[in-house]
Structure 1
Amino acid sequence: MLVLGLTAAGVPARASAGVQHLAVPAYFDPGGSPGSTYWTRLAQGAPAVGISVANPGSGPGTAFDQSYANAIRAAAQAGVRVIGYVDTGYFGTTGRTTRGGQTSTSAWTAQVEGDVDNWYRWYGGYGLAGIFFDDAQNVCGTGNAYVNLYIAVGSYTKQHHAGALTVDNPGAAADQCYSSAADVLVMFEGTYAAYTSWSAPSWELSSADPNRFWHLVYATSTRAAMENAVALSEQRNAGYLYVTDDDLPNPWDTLPADAYWSDELSRTGA
């Protein structure tokens, strides 16, 4: 149940996400060790684990991979929604180039749609549940130009792949115009140190649906810090979260040790 308090200015001061679930960027290869073990642990973590992100190579890769198919199927059968990573490159608005070396929004749109279709072509039959759009913009843009790009690719995904769950990851708080761009928004991605002083925007705090929001917290070195991060995420109205002791350059290429992981599981999905 959502519980809100108001400051003197009428801004929500606290929200409670109620039942939460872990949503894990699973950037580890299920075809070898320790990646296969991590994928098994993810599946065993259901129902506390609600979502995981498969990422063979900053996207679906160049060809079908049976080890990913097996991992997706096992997780899906356990009740975890596995979604496929797609890099949107900010649709070229920051100068990022596609794999073909182009920066135009049309080239990026073509690459993104092609990656979405390859995910479903190769893994749709194994239980793929949706798409994770990374490197997303978080501001509306002039005349909503930026957010309309994400609305369009989200609509494309749902029109061509019925039932797809869509997630946008700007890695920072998105403007409220993004509320219709995807089913879930990653509103925070950063270190525990940054998270302790971060403030969620008022439109997130006041939302009646915490499952629209996901927080990703890394460099959380102790279980006590992880427990505090989980408590903060609930206050900030995040229905999905993931906290890890892993750190840059890739904080998503492991799972925490058993005691840490078990503790985190026990604090979500309850």
Structure 2
Amino acid sequence: MTPPSDNPQEAPVKSLLVPYYEHPAARPDAWDAVVAAAPRLYGVVLNPASGPGTAPDPAFAEVAERLRAAGVRVLGYADTDYARRPHAAVVADLLRHRDWYGAAGVFLDQVSSGPEAVPHYRRLGVAARAAGAETLVLNHGVHPDPAYAELADLLVTFEGPWDAYRSAGIPSWTTAHPPERFCHLVYAAPADARAGAAVHCVVPGTGAHPWGTLPHGLRRRP
């Protein structure tokens, strides 16, 4: 079955958004492969400790520097707990990512999808931009209310396993936006799986920690 697509058009060259949640000291070869894939990357989500952690991590700081030197946008991970996490706590995470790891963008996770939370995320977006964020990614994991498209540069409108992805639906409002505004994150996927969104990541990982695996076909180049 052909996977769903948010406003399908020709995908941009830099189409991979990689949320790789492994420590660089534990998986140096894998991180080498991520850096080597720079020409293909939309960005990399940096997530030292379900956020920036409580102190700078030298290994993550070093890999972030390598990514920036390769021209890759570094996105700092922050959990919003579906609008339940306080505004100030989320902003504190974004500032730490900026100051400790040089993140030029933010990846907000567990983002609400209903219209009632739009004001909350609008405030977070304003704070992120004021802190210097050049790229704002909202991970809803599902298609949100269309109003969210006005808040961010990229919306993650699917996160889940390949079996669910193959039958996921696409609302008509997405066709009013360029394809590079949408991202699909798919796990538990076979080697020949392909995403329908212009920005995407498809990994073989399963279970509670699928983002400890790299996208299919991502290998360190000689």
Mark the CA change 1:13 to 1:166 in structure 2 (over 3 Å): closer, same or farther: closer
Gaps of 5+ in 2: none
Gaps of 5+ in 1: 1-11, 93-97, 99-107, 266-270
Equivalent pair of 2:6/2:182 in contact (CA under 8 Å): no
Aligned-residue Cα RMSD (Å) equals 2.0
Give me the whole-angstrom Cα distance separating, in 1, the residues matched to 2:79 and 2:119: 17
Q: 1:131 aligns with which of 106, 109, 112?
A: 106
Counterpart in the other structure of 1:19: 12
Does residue 1:28 correspond to 2:19, yes or no?
no
Cα deviation for residue 19 of structure 1 reads: 2.3
Equivalent pair of 2:9/2:198 in contact (CA under 8 Å): no
How many residue pairs end up in the alignment? 215
State the 4+ residue runs in structure 1 displaced beyond 2 angstroms. Answer: 12-15, 17-20
Counterpart in the other structure of 2:128: 157
Counterpart in the other structure of 1:181: 151
Q: 2:89 aligns with which of 90, 108, 111?
A: 111
Give me the whole-angstrom Cα distance separating, in 2, the residues matched to 1:82 and 1:160: 15
Q: Residue 85 of structure 1 aligns to which amino acid in structure 2? A: Y
TM-score scaled by structure 2? 0.90
Equivalent pair of 1:85/1:134 in contact (CA under 8 Å): yes
1:78-227 to structure 2, matched below 5 A, reads 78-92=70-84, 108-124=86-102, 128-141=103-116, 146-161=117-132, 163-207=133-177, 209-221=178-190, 223-224=191-192, 226=193
Give me the whole-angstrom Cα distance separating, in 2, the residues matched to 1:29 and 1:18: 30
Query: Who wins on radius of gyration, i.e. which is larger?
Result: 1
Q: 1:57 aligns with which of 42, 45, 49?
A: 49
Cα deviation for residue 239 of structure 1 reads: 2.3
Question: Equivalent pairs: percent with the same residue?
Answer: 35
Give me the whole-angstrom Cα distance separating, in 2, the residues matched to 1:137 and 1:211: 21
State the secondary structure of the residue aligned to 1:89.
coil
State the secondary structure of the residue aligned to 2:218.
helix
